[in-house]
Structure 1
Amino acid sequence: MIGLVLAGGKSTRFGRDKALYHCPHERVNNAELAVNKLRLLSDEVIVSANAKNGDALTTQFQAVPTITVVTDQAPFVQHGPLSGIYAACCRHPQTTDYLVLAVDYPRITPNVLAAVADHPNCFAATPAASHYTIAHFSVSRNTLRDFLLLGDFRLGQFIEGSRQCLPLTFPNSESFTNYNYLEEINHAD
């Protein structure tokens, strides 16, 4: 299983790059928090970056041979999380097992990720929301390419429809707080 960190978002609502952001209560930035959690469960971690943060993330992780930073690959550039997954699939074109985590869940616990890792074809859910960017599934580059060529870039449709993932439900908790605005972090601390 390969850990996949989704770190390529535009962070428009957040106001600065979420992957490089260092939460006040943490020793490292959000990308490293996600990488460290996935390294507990996988031998390799891919960080899917964007054109703006790719160089910084590559420099940050260059000393660790089991961590690779990739950026969006044509023809699926800037199509949200599916572009990041496609970039990882370009590195591993065969059917590959992925454990996915987005950088905007800095409080997700290793126990939650371990539970998701133990259940193939699932995504994390709480009574309040589906958390598609915390998921475990297998896919090949060709399968994902064929899905994307249909023009549907909704992650939920890919996770539930194409990959037939089922929700793995957890109780509501701070772990599942998805930070979209900087003010949310400042109020949480």
Structure 2
Amino acid sequence: MTDSLILAGGRSSRFKSDKALAHFNDLSIPNVKYTADLTLPYVDHCYVSTNSNNHHAISTLFDDSKITVIQDQEPLIDCGPVSALWSYFQQSDQTIADLIVIATDYKIDQSAVEFLSEDFGYIKIKRLPYYTCCHLKIKIDLLKQQIHNHNYRWRELLDKSDCGARNYEGNLKNINYPEDLE
């Protein structure tokens, strides 16, 4: 069983507004909905991870039974992607996760999601890694160990999960500032 985890709980401070609710695509729908919908053909269920500020706004975007909006849970509040992963485990009651993880700060298309669905690893274009655009298999015990050690580094978690780089020839763009959309 493969699920997707959409990372929509970032602060978006450089972007000056919530990137999850911005429009990065040609459609006039928020990026979080666009990204979640892209994953649906490849997964059994989609989880959208939010923070306390955007949880309500994002929850109103979804009425599909295959999509669940979750919020950061104790003890990991505002600890980046690791918070989202913890919340996923708490919500899904899984002990092993097979996840396609995509942050909402990417301008992404269907071919990138299809590429992720084919094998484990994170996308790398030329020499640039996109760690929060990955497909990983991870046990909750590894995450608990990281939490116990107060280690919230996403890249280290990927390394320990044998989630390595996969060269991708398609288009993917990380959006940090509004001008990155031009």
TM-score, normalised to structure 2, is 0.93
Q: Could you list the runs of 4 or more consecutive aligned residues of structure 1 that deviate by over 3 angstroms after TM superposition?
A: none
Tell me the percent identity.
26
Structure 1 24/144 Cα, relative in aligned 2: closer, same or farther at 3 Å? closer
Residue 47, structure 1, aligned to residue 45, structure 2 = no
Equivalent residue, structure 2, for 1:21: 22
Q: Which runs of structure 2 are paired with 1:72-111 in the superposition (5 Å)? A: 72-92=72-92, 93-106=94-107, 108-111=108-111
CA RMSD after TM alignment: 1.5
Aligned length: 180
Measured in 1, the distance between the counterparts of 2:56 and 2:96 equals: 28
Amino acid in structure 1 at the alignment position of 2:86: Y
Deviation at 1:88, TM superposition (A): 0.8
Gaps (5+ residues) in structure 1?
none
- Where 2:42 maps in the other structure, the secondary structure is coil
- Where 1:3 maps in the other structure, the secondary structure is strand
Instruction: Please list the CA deviations of residues 59-112 of structure 1 after superposition, one character each: whole Å capped at 9, or x if unmatched.
Output: 111x21110011111111111111111111111232121011111112x22122
Instruction: Please list the CA deviations of residues 120-166 of structure 1 after superposition, one character each: whole Å capped at 9, or x if unmatched.
Output: 3x111111311111111122333212112212211111112x20112
Equivalent residue, structure 1, for 2:124: 125
* Contact preservation (8 Å) 1:89, 1:140: no
Residue 144, structure 1, aligned to residue 143, structure 2 = yes
Structure 1 residues 84-93 or 46-55, which shifts more? 84-93
- Where 1:132 maps in the other structure, the secondary structure is strand
- Where 1:60 maps in the other structure, the secondary structure is coil
Measured in 1, the distance between the counterparts of 2:173 and 2:55 equals: 25
Deviation at 1:24, TM superposition (A): 6.8
* Contact preservation (8 Å) 1:90, 1:141: no
Equivalent residue, structure 1, for 2:153: 154
TM-score, normalised to structure 1, is 0.89
Equivalent residue, structure 1, for 2:65: 65
Gaps (5+ residues) in structure 2?
none
Measured in 1, the distance between the counterparts of 2:59 and 2:69 equals: 6
* Contact preservation (8 Å) 2:105, 2:174: yes
